[in-house]
Amino acid sequence: MSSHSADTDAPAILAEVNPAPVPRRVLVANHRDFHWITEKVCGIVESKTPLWWWWCFGVAAFVASFTVAGLTYLVATGVGVWGHANPVNWAWDIVNFVFWIGIGHAGTLISAILCLLRQKWRTSINRPAEAMTIFAVVCAAIFPVFHVGRIWFAVLPGFLFPFPNANGIWQNFRSPLEWDVFAVSTYGTVSVLFWYIGLIPDLGTMRDRFTAAGNLLKARIYGFFAMGWRGSNRAWSNYEMAYLILAGIATPLVLSVHTVVSFDFAVALIPGWHTTIFPPYFVAGAIFSGFGMVMTLMLPLRAIYRLEDLITQYHIDCMCKITLATGTMVGYAYSMEFFIAWYGANPFEGFTFINRAFGVYWWSYWIMVTCNVVTPQFFWFKKVRENTTLVWILCLFVNVGMWFERFVIIATSLARDFLPSSWGYYSPSIVEIFTFFGTFGVFSVLFLLFIRFVPVMPMSEIKAVIPQADPHGADHHHGAAALESQA
Amino acid sequence: MKRKFDHSAPAALPNGPKYWRSLDELADTPGFREHLAREFPDGASSLEGVDRRQFMKLMAASFALGGIGLAGCRRPESHILPYGKSVEYTIPGLPLYFATAMPLRKWALPLLAETHQGRPTKLEGNPSYTPHGGASSLLAQASVLDLYDPERAVAHTKGGATLTTGQVNDLLAAIHKTYAGNGEGLAFLADQSSSPTRARLVAKLRQVYPRAVWAEYEPVQDEPPVAAAQASFGRNVRPLYRFAAAKRIVSLDADFLHSEAGALYYAREFAKGRRVVKADDDMNRLYVAESGFSLTGSMADHRLRLASNHMLALTAALANAVLETKVFAALTQGLDVNPEWIAKCAEDLRQHEGESLVVAGAHQPVQVHVLVNAINAKLGNLGKTVDFVAAEPDGASTIAALATAIKGGAVRTLVVVNGNPAYNAPADLEFGTLLKSVPDVIRFGYYADETSALAGTHLAATHYLESWGDARTVDGTIVPIQPMILPLFNGLMELELLARLAGETEAEAYTQVRTTLGGLTAGDPLKAFEKFLHDGLLENSAFPVVPVAFDPQRSAAVFAKNPAPAALSKDNLEVRFITDHKMDDGRFANNGWLQECPDPMTKISWDNAILISPRLAREMGIAPKGGLLQVARVEEADFVVGKENAHVGEVTVNGRTLRGPIHIQPGLSNYTVVVALGYGRSASGHIGTGTGCNAYAIRTSDAMGFVTGAKLVRTEQRALLANTQEHWSMEGRAIVREANLEEYHEEPAFAAALGMEAETPPLYGDMGPEELAKLSPEQRTRIAIARSTTTPRGNSLYETPDFSGEHAKFDGVHQWGMSIDLNTCIGCNACIIACQAENNIPIVGKDQVLRGREMQWIRLDRYYSDGQADAAAFGAEGNKILPEDPQVSLQPMTCQHCELAPCETVCPVNATVHDEEGINVMAYNRCIGTRYCANNCPYKVRRFNFFDFNKRALDALYMGPIGHQDDMPELVKMVKNPDVTVRMRGVMEKCTYCIQRIQQAKIAQKRQAGASGNVEIPDGTVRTACQQVCPVEAIVFGNVKDENSRVARLKAQDRNYAVLGYLNIRPRTTYLAKLRNPNPRMPDYAALPLSRVEYSRKNHPQHGEGKDAKPEHGGEHA
């Protein structure tokens, strides 16, 4: 698409320096037009429910029932049905919580930060990534809520949630768990709002299409959620501003949520938890795992619905590179932890890290390092990035590795802390394993419902990044003037 | 409705006006007639929800009790009476204390029982008995649980049918009638007892049945054999040791701190000689030679691992050295001990004539005891460190003689009084089979156990807390056993049984005891008896000390025939039978508190194991091997995912086989296999049946203490052991800080120079090194000590907040704190059970202990050290080998009540907070169970209720809503302390410093203070449960704000330190460092305690042996 034309009649000395224009990558391949995009995205919702969807939904619902059954048993019987014991009082519950919360990070990052940074490639993937965020937060919230001993009190106002009461008892605002309550609930709320605001124009489109097709029931339902969207100039203007404000609000949340989650450990005094590197390390890890999960979900979706024109190789490249960058940051953090443990000359700290790598849980440490540090290094190679199957497999490893990272941090530090007399070994119970396994079902059920009933891509936003959306036409689009105007 | 009264109408109406009391009467309605006839209102007996019978029983018991304790006599009525009139001194909600005693074999523990509305809930030592000073033992603490055991024998039965009390009396009267005057065909088998009343009744029985057999049997012999004293002194005497006066003590296989008779008495005395207060104080030195690893061995300054079988040879060698003769040279054949060890030990003893003491284990043969007497006599210890007191003549027959009589068909009626011979009689007697051949076996016992199953008649015994009786303490003082409650199940008291059999007309146990006491006291018998009950002891009733002289000629006869030491090897093992720390001889098998309490050395709960030495384990190929890289020391047993997965082995001796899990125990004699008695019960109840293996199966009457010629075979099976401490090494961390006495004399503040906090600048507050240098050593010491308790630390990122002035956090009148002296702690576990009894701590069962969910608030950490830990040579050989001869460091660990508590900051709901008196308190109602506090506790002392342990049976924990949700039986609930919340599931709990006791003392003080406003509790008023029970006074609790309080003075000692002090969490519980007192002339002398060697190697590897190692460091343990 390079269309730079040199003017042969120009003087020897240029009146002004025209930097060599950077060829902009195409975000929608094959010159697809507005209509094609609308048809493609809406078609997924409007077409007859495919058989594979029913199969997937059935399996997912079955798997989700494991979580429901596990939690019912847990509440009815006691937390003892899980494998916790002194000294490892947190294990899979908090590992799973941090794992799912971490996955949620990519969604907000793509929606908010990339939006503010005008990374236009985000448009094809932000809707499913945001949906993924919300569903991941749902899965994440299960664990801290249910791992407590007396859930019937935990959910009452006045215990975890501040509530004026006659006794004047308030929460302990010094506790990182209390910060978690606020951080996660804020994050969940903002994520839902952000997702929903972004959906409104597309819901309007859906409503109009169903109205035109004569399906009034669906038209009403979509119409209800479209909140009277008419696509007027004023509506667009307000909409864009609302979206931008939400992006502004959500951006610090991307950093704050996982920072606060990392405080659960960093504020404690257990060797292996009590480290100041945790906030950036956790955020990097969260983004890393989030992008891993986005690709895990998007690549099959792309293949099934033939969305190659919308999710191009360029998109995959971008995501792979972010994964590579954050994975390397995580690797740096791992090595820095070791360095500080040695440099700090605290024997307890030093032991903890040696124990992580060579102690009873050595296998989990090396799974973590292999998956999180070694795996993303393959993304240096273009050939790897272009092999979608390979990318997908590598992303699975990233997901596994990030789960193990949380396990290594939480379980190994607790299992061998200060006094050797209380050292122990944690292994999960079958109830715990199935409850966690079931959350993948919960997530899948929600995600399948999402792709079935909600436009999986923001049509309006994609349309805005294709050449046709440029009012000045293709002539200037790649020219210097266009670049200037963009700047 | 109980009964209807028949109000018959008067024969003739009297003259005069007719009065009526109500309109109903006038009308003479049917309802009124019914009302008149009924004893109780309609429906009174069908009240729902309340067990009326139980309620009435308790009320009656309370009423009766009031009478017992205060009037000194018990109301003989057994009718149900309403609690209409309050008992004198009873204040609802406040406990009453009565003196009683717990009998065990030939000695008893004087106790005070705490009763709440007539319900005993907690036992304390009787402080009036000064040798115990209010301390008590593990077993005494737990015995209250037995009273409420739902599986105790609740009815008298004969052939499966229940007998009423009247029928039982008839039965006993019939025996009396049948056998009186002759007794041919009648036999008794009883346990041992120290009761003067029983002795009197037994004498009576002998008169009534002159030809009957009265045999006594105890599976455990815990006193030196009478024959030894006879042979040594020609008198019927028994020793009473004065450990407090002994500066040098040699124990020859004697666990006098725990399993020998009078252990509590001796432990307290021993601690007196061990305690160090000032820097120049001296302390006793303990030499121990033993085959197993006992608590006494863990306290040893020099410990020699030697087979029990070789103990005679060692004693002879020691006697040769001390007596400076060669008379016993023949006995020392085959002894493989460094002669230097014996020579230097003897030299040390000779240098301390009159203040040394040699003791031998009760299970050792007579020869050993005679030699020990000779040594003590030679050292001039008689009358100084060991007294001999008159022993009562023992005319009882033995179980072996009884067995012979039964085999000969000479026994038609056998009365088994207590004991459990079907389970614990020597295996060669096959007593179970013999019992079957006796036509009429009458078993009197507390449980329907193995023996009851073979007896036609079972008579349910009362618990000692429901019984009248008397007993003697180890020094002979007579103590009363008085009931705290009416027999819950209409049981029969032992004394009443014997009195009825003896044909006494006034057979009630109470009368019998009064009769005995009447004969022992002068003056008004009633007043004397009341005083006896009130004080809980009879003054001046101790056994008189008999002056004795060693008689070499007489004793020589003993050595006519000597057991030869066996050459032990893998194929010729010695088996040593030890009394279990908790089950004793098996009588406490159904006690959940005791079953769950970990053994102090192996840390195994709910089981015993076949203990073998690391060397034997290696030779048998069952020692765990360390991996290529070994971060921490190899565990002492195979821990698979945190559970000890023990090999099952079979010990075969003389054709008898014992099958059980093998546990590798460092510190054992190489070829001695140790098995604890008291497990493997087949008919005990839910708790006791099926735990451990029955060592009685291979124990025969000729070798009750130890036997040689055994073989151990490893099977392919594995068994899980609930081991509560997976890791045995301190890993070179300064957790238990120790020094040798010499180092302590030179550097009294050595404890402050250890650990991370010693390395950090903020150690001395805001002072720099120059300023510090100007201070005198005393001042420096003082500051160093204060650092962990009072001084805010400067120059640190983590500066301690200033709590003074308007930011006052700890502005209460009292500031509570605790001091634990590691130097005197013998690791007896009594504190654990005392805490469990006081604070309503549930048991969780073996399965939950295996998962690490035990609930005891106090944990006794046991570390082994061998001086080998070496992190610098990461993966070095030293990390892979189990020590064969370790030193042991014990440390009671519980909530440290940190001033800057890490648990508090992380609780999201403010459920764990600090009070103004410095206690870290738990608001159970507020706790939602995030368990964050437990994670952030560096001491890992918080306990979480993973299930409804207080409501669900141990086998129904996982059943959830579909399981049976029956509450615990009412009986079990009766043991709960009403002053302490019973926690539900999902709640965190931990040591509270017995806050209920503090509050009671505060309320009492406030009332007493009145207008004066002096609400400060005098020092010593509040004693925590663990402190109260501690036999060695290692635990002291009190107000640290008061500089003169005992705890404050202890904390001012230079040995004071805080565990993990570097975290700057400022724990209120601090420890006094442990001291060892090895003899520099001994061949196994180590200049530093081995844990210190490990510490130095780990933290200062560049200094080789460590910066603290002295030049004369004498190498490692042999």
Between the CA atoms of B801, B806, B810 and B814, what dihedral angle is there, to the nearest 10 degrees?
150
- The conformation of residue B9, written as its DSSP 8-state character, comes to P
Choice among A228-232, B23-27, B750-754, B817-821 with the minimum mean pLDDT: B23-27
- Shortest distance between the Cα of A348 and any Cα of chain B, in A, equals 9
Cα–Cα distance for residue pair B1078/A281, rounded to 1 Å? 52
Question: pLDDT at position A480, please?
Answer: 43
Mean pLDDT value across residues B100-107: 90
If pLDDT is split at 50, 70 and 90, which confidence band does A450 have?
Answer: very high
Instruction: Say what the pLDDT of residue A58 is.
Output: 96
Q: What is the pLDDT of residue B46?
A: 52
CB B186, CB B206: distance < 8 Å: no
Tokens of B732: 């070179």
Q: Is A81 on the interface with B (CB under 8 A)?
A: yes
Instruction: Write down the pLDDT at residue B862.
Output: 92
> Residue B21's CB: how many other CB atoms inside 10 A?
8
> Nearest Cα to B598, choosing from B827, B271, B842?
B827
**Which value does ipTM take for this structure?**
0.89
Residue A407 has pLDDT above 50, yes or no: yes
| A77–B contact, CB cutoff 8 A | yes
- Rounded CA-CA distance B167/B170 in Å is 5
Residue of B nearest to A410 (CA): B935
DSSP A176-204: HHHHHHHHHHHHHHHHHHHHHHHHHHHHH
Contact list, B948 vs chain A (CB under 8 Å):
78
pLDDT of residue B794: 45
Nearest to B906 among A176, A414, A425 (CB): A176
Q: Pick the range with the lowest mean pLDDT from A94-103, B62-71, B756-765, B954-963.
A: B62-71
pLDDT of A110 strictly over 60: yes
How does residue B788 score in pLDDT terms, banded at 50, 70 and 90? very low
Question: Any CB–CB contact under 8 A between A56 and chain B?
Answer: no
Round to whole Å and give the CA distance between B1056 and B737: 10
Q: Which residue has the tokens 């007998």?
A: B163
DSSP B573-611: EEEEEE-BTTTBTTTTTT-HHHHHSPPTTT-EES---EE
| Crossing angle for the helix pair A278-304 and A313-343, to the nearest 10 degrees | 160
Q: What is the pLDDT of residue B15?
A: 63
- Predicted confidence (pLDDT) per residue in B163-216, tens digit: 888 888 888 888 888 888 888 888 999 998 889 999 999 999 888 888 888 999
Q: What is the DSSP letter of B1088?
A: S
CB contact under 8 A, A417 and B940: yes
Query: CA-CA distance, B1088 to B8, in Å (whole number)?
Result: 94
Mean pLDDT of B281-286: 90
Say whether pLDDT at B678 is over 60.
Answer: yes
Per-residue pLDDT, averaged over B82-110, amounts to: 83
Residue range B759-777: average pLDDT?
Answer: 60
Q: Tell me the one-letter amino acid at A403.
A: W
Q: How far apart are CA A340 and CA A344, in angstroms?
A: 5
Q: Residue A73 has what pLDDT? A: 92
Q: Average pLDDT, whole number, for chain B? A: 84
Which of A181, A422, A430 to probe the B interface (max B CBs under 10 A)? A422
Question: What pLDDT was estimated at residue A97?
Answer: 92
Q: Do B905 and A85 touch (CB under 8 A)?
A: no
Res B268: pLDDT: 92
The verdict on A181 touching B (C-beta cutoff 8 Å) is: yes
Q: Which residues on chain A are in Cβ contact (under 8 Å) with B928?
A: 148-151, 153-154, 159-160
Upper half-sphere CA count for residue B189 (Cβ side, 13 Å): 31
Of B721, B569, B717, B715, nearest to B635 by C-alpha is B721
Question: What DSSP designation does A364 have?
Answer: H
pLDDT band at A41 (very low <50, low <70, confident <90, very high): confident
Q: Which amino acid is at B952?
A: R
Residues of B with Cβ-Cβ distance to A417 under 8 angstroms: 938, 940
**Stretch 100-129 of chain A: residues touching chain B, C-beta under 8 Å:** none
Mean pLDDT of the residues in chain A: 86
- Provide mean pLDDT across the span A125-138: 89
Lowest mean pLDDT among A356-370, B54-68, B266-280, B967-981: B54-68
- Taking CB atoms and an 8 Å limit, are B852 and A87 in contact across chains? yes
Q: Is B859 on the interface with A (CB under 8 A)?
A: yes
Question: Which of A81, A159, A267 has its CB closest to that of B906?
Answer: A267
What is the predicted pLDDT for the residue at B236? Answer: 87
Q: How many CB pairs below 8 Å do chains A and B form together?
A: 213
Residue A474's identity, in one-letter code, is: A
Q: Which of A149, A270, A416 sits opposite B929 (nearest CB)?
A: A149
Out of B641, B928, B936, the one facing A149 most closely (by C-beta) is B928
Least CB–CB distance from B853: residue in A81, A86, A267: A86
**Distance between A48 CA and the closest CA of chain B, angstroms:** 44
> Which residues, in sequence order, are CB contacts of A394 under 8 Å at separation 6+?
A375, A376, A378, A379, A384
Cβ B870 vs Cβ B876: under 8 Å: yes
CA dist A243 and B1014 (Å) reads 68
Residue of chain B minimizing CA distance to A70: B960
Name every chain B residue with its beta carbon within 8 A of the beta carbon of A147: 930-931
| Per-residue confidence band for B1118, with pLDDT thresholds at 50, 70 and 90 | very low
Distance CA(B691)–CA(B701), nearest Å, equals 24
* Contact across the interface for A420 and B733, Cβ inside 8 Å: yes
Q: Is A426 on the interface with B (CB under 8 A)?
A: yes
Q: Which residues of chain A make contact with B960, given a CB cutoff of 8 A?
A: 73, 76-78, 81
Q: What is the pLDDT of residue A2?
A: 43
Q: Which two tokens stand for residue B412?
A: 């038609």
* B45 vs A: CB within 8 A: no
pLDDT in tens, B977-1001: 999 999 998 999 999 999 999 999 9
Task: Answer whether B642 sits within 8 Å of A427, measured CB to CB.
Answer: yes
Least confident of A186-195, B218-227, B286-295, B735-744: B218-227
Q: Please report the pLDDT score of residue B31 as a whole number.
A: 77
C-alpha distances out from residue A232 to A196, A228, A236, A237, B865, Å: 19, 11, 6, 8, 81
Asked if A364 has any chain B CB less than 8 Å from its own CB, the reply is no
Shortest CA distance to B74 belongs to which of B504, B493, B541? B493
Partner A, chain B 694-733, Cβ-Cβ below 8 Å: 725-733
Q: In this structure, what DSSP letter does residue B18 have?
A: P
Cβ(A122)–Cβ(A110) under 8 Å? yes
Cα distance between residue B790 and residue B579, in whole Å = 45
pLDDT value, residue B390: 86
Average pLDDT over residues B112-119: 87
Chain B CB contacts of A422 below 8 Å: 725, 859, 861, 939-940
Selecting from A76, A85, A90 the residue whose C-beta is nearest the C-beta of B852 gives A85
- For tokens 């059920």, the residue is A445
Nearest to A175 among B629, B639, B908 (CB): B908
Averaged pLDDT for residues B704-729: 89
Q: Please tell me the distance from the alpha carbon of residue B791 to that of residue B47, in angstroms, as a whole number.
A: 63
Residue A478's pLDDT band (boundaries 50, 70, 90)? Answer: very low
Q: Please give the average per-residue pLDDT across B302-318, as a whole number.
A: 91
Nearest CA in chain A to B874: A354
For residue A19, give both structure tokens. 């930097």
pLDDT given for residue A472 in this prediction: 63
Binary contact (B733, A348; C-beta < 8 A): yes
- How big is the CA angle at B253 (ends B371 and B665), to the nearest 5 degrees? 160
Q: What is the DSSP letter of B345?
A: H
Residue B1107: its pLDDT value, please?
Answer: 39
* Rounded distance between C-alpha atoms, residue B524 and residue B324, angstroms: 57
Compute the average pLDDT of residues A220-241.
91
The beta-strand segments (E) located in B1035-1076 are: 1035-1039, 1056-1057, 1069-1072, 1074-1076
Whether the predicted pLDDT of A372 surpasses 50: yes
* DSSP string for residues in B422-446: HHHS-GGG-HHHHHHHSSEEEEEES
Indicate yes or no: CB of B961 within 8 angstroms of CB of A85: no
